[in-house]
Structure formats: structure tokens, C-alpha cells
Chains A and B, each alone.
Chain A
Amino acid sequence: MQNVAAAPPVHIVPPVPVEEHPTATGLNNRKVLMWAFLASDCMFFGALIATYLVYRGKWTGHPVPTDVFDIPYTSVSAFALLMSSLAMVLALAAIQHGQIRRLKIWLLTTAGLGLVFIGGQIYEFTSFGHEGLTLASGTGGTTFFVLTGFHGTHVSLGIAWLLSLFVMAQRGVMHEGRSLDVEIAGLYWHFVDIVWIIIFTVVYLIPVNMAP
């Protein structure tokens, strides 16, 4: 006698294929939206960098940002963020080849390097505060902390995004057909990196007497 009720049926859920809808441009709408956002974010950071440069050399209050900079320390942070971009593209290459285990490793590496950068920024801000440079200590502190603080916020949001992708991969949701999800997150992450390339040069490396 067969007992059909003894073993519950096993449902194997196949990966959900990602439907690509036709669009007027022939391009994926989410990717177009991300590039539009990045273009607007360019203008956002452009305004913050312009404000910093306008006040540069005419700062009020003491100390001023260039009195407290630690270039070797910030160089290491910049290097960590640069290497996180490498980890991000390796994560994209992994999912494009259906290598989910590698995807998870590179996503965690990217987020980890982002955390190294944020940890470094928190330490830097704290030490600057101890030396007297704060958001309210003068125009130098205000323009510096607003610019670098907003960049740090972008990095933090990127880390949360990467970790959410990692959790999705851990749950088996990510597959080769969803590589666009990783590519769009990657676009955001690389943008954060290129903004830091500019900030590191303009704010940290170019001395005040050489700035316009």
C-alpha cells in the first residue's frame, strides 16, 4: 500500500527569469535612471566642491583644514576605496559568468573596503575635532565637513546596498540573469570612488597657496 501523504511534495523553485521590457530608447530604464541620478549627483558634488574652493584661503576660525590633514593616513583610505572599485568589477564579472560564490566573496570584499574607508573617515573626523576643527569652528570646518561628510554618507549607503545584494545572493535569489542589479550598484559605487579621486586631489593634496 502506498502512503502518498507520508512525504510532503518538494517544490523546487527555479530562478525567476528577469523580464526585459521594451523601451523607447532600447536601453534598460533602470540603467538610464541610474545614469541620470549620477549626472545630477555630479552637480550636487560640483556645488559642494565649488563652495569649498570659494572659501579656501579665506577661511575663518582656527585651525583650518590644511593645518590638521594627515596625508599618509588619507592616502591609505583613498587606496582602500580605489581597490574596492576593483572588487566591485570582479563581483560583476563573477555574476556575468554565473559564479555566485565568487560574487558573494567580491561583494563582501567591496563592502569591507568601504567600511575601512568609513572607519578611517570617522577616526579622521574625531581627531580633527580633538584638534579644534569642527562643523561650527569656522568656514574651513563647515565647508570641509559638509563636503567630505556627504561623500561619506554616499559610501555608507553604497555599503548598505552591497550588503543587501550579498544577502540576496546568500538566499539564492541572485543568478546570471540578474547581473544588471550588480552592474547598477557598481555604477553607484564607482561614482563614489571618482568623487573621492577629485576630493583627495582638490581638498587634500593641492596646497592652499596654489589653489585658485
Chain B
Amino acid sequence: MSVHAVAHAPLDHPHPGARQYIIIAVILSVVTAIEVAVYYFPPLHPILAPILIVLSAFKFSIVVMYYMHLKFDARLFSGMFLFGLSAAAFTIIMFIALFHGLVPIGAPSPAAPH
């Protein structure tokens, strides 16, 4: 691999300024308020879990893209972070599948000869 003379990859876009950061904080605050409000609104309880997961995923993405600058920084950083995030998500999903009966474990093997 060749050695480049520059230590920073040039940014495609400049980082957001203070005004954009404050707008993002307002959006995050509103979404958090909606999360808590939904929690106390019984008619939405049948679909509470999907709503909360979508809202928190939205907040997560906003912070990662704008406050952590992944939207503007080198793709390598996004790749590294997504790798770790995917491994974590895979671990969580597989553990839930294994221990909550979605995947049968410990079942007798079919018709083993004695």
C-alpha cells in the first residue's frame, strides 16, 4: 500500500456549524419527548416496541452521522463502525433466537439408531 503525504483525507463536505448542531439537538430532544410520551399513551401500547425501536434508531443515526461526523468523514471509519455494530446486532439477535425458543436447542436428534 502506498504511503500518502497527507494525514487527513480531504472532506467531501465541511463539518456542520454551531447552528446546525443546535437544530440537531432540538430534533433529538423532541424525539426523546415523543418516546416518553408514547410510553404513557396506552392506545399505542400494542405497537409500543416497534415505535420505540424506530425512534431510538433514528436518534442513534442522527448522532452518529452529524455529531460523530460519519456523514462527512472517510468511508473507512463508517466501515469500521458498521462492522462492530453489525457484530453486536448479530450477537443480540442470535442470543434472543437461541434462548427465547426461536431456534430449537437441545431437541432429540431424529431416529438415531441404538
Contacts and interface: CB of A to CB of B under 8 A. Distances in A.
> Are chains A and B native binding partners rather than an unrelated pairing?
yes
Interface of A: 20-28, 31-32, 35-36, 38-43, 45-47, 49-51, 53-54, 71-72, 75, 78-79, 82-83, 85-86, 88-90, 92-93, 96, 183, 186-187, 190-191, 193-194, 197-198, 200-201, 205-207, 210-212
Contacts of B59: 194, 197
A85 B21 CA distance: 10
A27 B74 contact: yes
Contact of B39 (A22, A26, A47, A71): A71
Task: State the majority secondary structure of interface residues on B.
Answer: helix
18 contacts: A22-B5, A24-B3, A26-B74, A27-B7, A35-B80, A38-B84, A39-B84, A41-B84, A43-B84, A79-B29, A88-B67, A89-B21, A89-B67, A92-B15, A93-B15, A197-B59, A200-B35, A207-B45
Given A39-B83, A46-B91, A93-B21, 11 more contacts: A23-B3, A24-B4, A27-B74, A32-B76, A53-B95, A54-B100, A71-B36, A190-B67, A201-B55, A201-B56, A206-B52
Nearest to A102: B18
Contacts of A193: 63, 67
B21 A90 contact: yes
B71 to A, nearest CB: 13
A82 B48 contact: no
Given A83-B25, A207-B48, A211-B49, A43 B87 contact: yes
Interface of B: 1-9, 15-18, 21-22, 24-25, 28-29, 32, 35-36, 39, 45, 48-49, 52-53, 55-56, 59-60, 63-64, 67-69, 74, 76-77, 80-81, 83-85, 87-89, 91-92, 95-96, 99-100
